[in-house]
Amino acid sequence: MATKVPDPTPEQRRAIDRHLDELDLWNRRLNLTAVRREVAWERHVVESLALLDAAGLREGVRCADLGSGGGIPGVIVAIVRPDLAVTLIESDQRKAGFLVHVSGLLGLGNVTVAARRAEEMGADPAHRGRYDAVLSRAAAPPPLLCVLSMPLLTTGGTLWALVAAADAAAAVGVLEGDPAVRAERPAPGIFAVQKIGDAGSAG
């Protein structure tokens, strides 16, 4: 059964604020985000929770945050859904170092950081076809996100991405008719692609 995302508890809100504070501090030398701290809750947290709500992930599923950067949406997801196993995929070693730091600081035992390229992960038997969901926030244009995500997903698994509304609409149009995937736009800035086969342009 799909899970509706409740409002963060006071403890979860404190953890999210700690994450945003660390993100702001490290951003001065790592360029993790263009979003200023004073608007970070609205931009990072509200959007991440909207994505998670659209995904409706079942309890205990395994998900990956592709191109995690500063941990958006992956760290937010891990905080509010401790039942999920979250792998943060980030090829930039310095950014991956931040993710290791902040997940340790917050005691997120459900988080694993993979400092590798998505292409390598998709070719690795330990990760290929192992994820029920891939989450991403504009880590790449939607068509490329599909190419990078499909090898990671189980059959029936879904890519959920925060992208520009126009990009989401265009990508859904491009993928219509592809027998390997089912694409939809559940909200203007959310792009979803379910893997239903192994052939086709997205796989």
Contact 144, 119 (CB under 8 A): no
- State yes or no: 119 annotated in a binding site: yes
Tokens 């993100």 -> residue: 23
67 is in an annotated binding site: yes
203 labelled ligand-binding: no
184 marked ligand binding residue: no
Distance CA 66, CA 43 (A): 18
d(CA 65, CA 139): 10
Sheet holding 190-195, edge to edge: 111-114, 85-89, 62-66, 131-137, 153-162, 190-195, 181-187
Q: In angstroms, rounded to a whole number, what is the distance separating the alpha carbons of residues 150 and 143? A: 11
Binding-site residues, in ranges, read: 67, 118-119, 137
Binding-site residues for S-adenosyl-L-methionine, in ranges, read: 67, 118-119, 137
